[in-house]
Amino acid sequence: MTEKAPLAVVAALAISLAALGGPGKPKPPADLPQLGTLIAPLPEGPAKDVADRACLNCHSGDVLRQQRLTEKQWTANVTKMIGWGAEVPEDRREELVRYLAKNFGPGNVAFRPVAVRPIRPNR
Partner 1 sequence: MKAVGEKRTPLTRRTLIGMGAAALASTALGLPRPERRLLQMNAYAPDAETPLDLLTTYITPNDLFFVRHHWNATAPDPRTWKLTVDGEVALPLELSLADLKRFPRTTVTCVLQCAGNGRSLYTPPVPGIQWRYGAVGNARWTGARVRDLLAKAGVKGTAKHLHTAGTDDPPSKTPPFHRSLEIEKALEDGIVAWEMNGEPLPPLHGAPARLVVPGWAGDHWMKWLAKLSPRPDPEKGFYMDVGYRYPAKPGEPGVTFKPEEMRPVTELFVKSSITDAPARARVGSPATIRGVAFSGAPDIAKVELTDDDGKNWKTADLGREHDPYAWRLWSLSWTPKSPGKVRVAARATDSRGSVQPREAVWNQSGYLWNGWHSVEIEVRA
Contact residues toward partner 1 (CB under 8 A) are: 2, 7, 10-11, 14-15, 17-19, 21, 23-29, 31-33, 35-40, 57-63, 65-70, 73, 77, 83-86, 106, 110-123
Least spacing, CB of residue 52 vs partner 1, in Å: 14
Measured CA to CA, the distance from residue 91 to residue 94 in angstroms comes to 7
Residues 6+ apart with CB under 8 A from 120: none
For the bound state, the minimum distance from the C-beta of residue 16 to partner 1, rounded and expressed in Å, comes to 9
Residues with Cβ within 8 Å of residue 95, at least 6 apart in sequence:
46, 47, 50
Residue 67 or 95 with smaller CB distance to partner 1: 67
